[in-house]
Amino acid sequence: MDFTMLYDKAVAVARPRILSDSATSGGVGAALLTESGHVYTGICIDAACSVGFCAEHAAAATMITAGENIVEKMIAVRSTGEIIPPCGRCREFVSQLSDENKHTNVMVAADKVIDLEALLPFDWREK
């Protein structure tokens, strides 16, 4: 599966919604392609108390629930369709789900794909 298809899946779930006076969702959508070829999507949830979570975390939780943890490709998009790189928390989180995930191809802009390892240049786990 190429990034065009992953992009379409991420855009499809990135639909902003007001959940309550203090919470919104869907401002960012993400899609993760696993080594087995499955795609998992997720959306961000933003709460006034700052206890929300990112779209990549939501997609990863569904992936792990399904029994998988190795990500081949990942992408995140704003609800406007703009491709955005994962935040530092998401980079670290995905990297810890499997040592193989350092090789995950991450689309960080419309014309740029980079390995997750390059987004974490000073890995605290390396000796």
Query: In terms of pTM, does the model score above 0.85?
Result: yes
Delimit the domains of the chain by residue range.
3-119
- The architecture in CATH of the region 3-119 reads 3-Layer(aba) Sandwich (3.40)
Rounded distance between C-alpha atoms, residue 75 and residue 35, angstroms: 15
Alpha helix positions (H), 2-115: 3-13, 55-65, 88-97
pLDDT of residue 94: 97
pLDDT of residue 127: 65
How far does CA 126 lie from the centroid of its chain? Answer: 24
- Residue 20's DSSP bridge partners are 23
In a structure prediction context, what are the per-residue pLDDT tens digits for the chain, which is 127 residues long? 899 999 999 999 999 999 999 999 999 999 999 999 999 999 999 999 988 899 999 999 999 999 999 999 999 999 999 999 999 999 999 999 999 999 999 999 999 999 999 999 888 887 6
